Amino acid sequence: MVSQDQIREALYDLIQLRRPLAELSARLLTFEWSSQEELATAFAQDIGHALDEFWAGKISADDLCAWAEELQGREDIALNPQERDFLADALFQLSTPELCGPADDVGLPRLHTFSSGTTANLVRD
């Protein structure tokens, strides 16, 4: 049986893109589908990190979209309450390039997180 701690660790690996997305997705498939209980929390800095990885060429636009879809679809991943609206909007935009435009093309929002780490703004490039 898989412990809550193992699932939580796998979720944070996904949220923070600590490993290749294919590996993370395969690992999460070995667990029961997402728990009704929130085991991990996504923050604006996680969106910023994913965008940095994309802009640095470390992940593809398809990977960025799949990552956002995975986060958006899991009931066991909470969105930080102070950033919930921003996170929901950013994940929607990243996970629906067919509606919002491709990540590498149509003015993808760029995340700027202030030094306090609590305020995030979307700024169009």
Give me the residue spans of the domains in the chain: 4-124
Short-list 43, 40, 93, 89, CA closest to 64: 93
Residue 9 pLDDT exceeds 70: yes
Q: Specify the DSSP class assigned to residue 17.
A: T
Cα–Cα distance measured from residue 75 to residue 113, given in angstroms and rounded to the nearest whole number? 26
Residue 42 pLDDT exceeds 90: yes
Taking residues 100-105, report their average pLDDT: 68
pTM given for the model: 0.80
